[in-house]
């Protein structure tokens, strides 16, 4: 079955950088975009950006441009999301999510995100 497994919780200092991993299994990794979604404590869902594991194309929300980098390793079916210059406002659960549409159809049809990682809690505190 499709599974996305994320790396464990992290405690970070303000100003530090962090990197969260998301390892996929149960489907063809290069066929589906992966999105990253942030959720601050008690708050709603915020889209951060997406990566095409089949072509390494990325798109980031303007809010995160220059501070977030998404990469992929096709040898391990893993996507990474790195964020720099952390502040306490970045304390949140970070989710990776698989786009249900195959990459060739993305933007033409909308099938939502059909599988999510378990979430990674990142706490930024001095």
Q: Between 59 and 87, whose beta carbon lies closer to another protein?
A: 59
- Coil, strand or helix: which one is 46? strand
Residues that bind another protein (CB under 8 A): 35, 37, 44-47, 50, 59, 61-63, 95, 97, 100, 109-114, 116-119
Nearer to another protein, 50 or 124 (CB): 50
Q: Are 15 and 86 in contact (CB under 8 A)?
A: yes
Report the nearest approach of another protein to the CB of residue 59 (Å): 6
Specify the residue, 13 or 109, whose C-beta has the smaller distance to another protein.
Answer: 109
Contacts for 99 with CB less than 8 Å, ≥ 6 apart: 32, 33, 34, 35, 50, 106, 111, 112, 113
């Amino acid at each position: 079955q499709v599974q996305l497994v994320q790396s464990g919780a992290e405690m970070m200092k303000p100003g530090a950088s962090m990197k969260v991993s998301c390892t996929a299994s149960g489907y063809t990794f290069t066929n589906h975009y992966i999105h990253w979604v942030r959720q601050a404590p008690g708050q709603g869902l915020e889209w951060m950006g997406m990566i095409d594991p089949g072509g390494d194309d990325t798109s980031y929300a303007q809010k995160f441009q220059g501070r977030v980098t998404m990469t992929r390793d096709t040898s391990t079916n893993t996507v990474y999301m790195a964020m720099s210059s952390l502040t306490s406002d970045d304390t949140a659960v970070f989710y990776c999510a698989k786009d249900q549409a195959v990459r060739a159809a993305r933007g033409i049809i909308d099938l939502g995100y059909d599988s999510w990682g378990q979430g990674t809690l990142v706490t930024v505190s001095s």
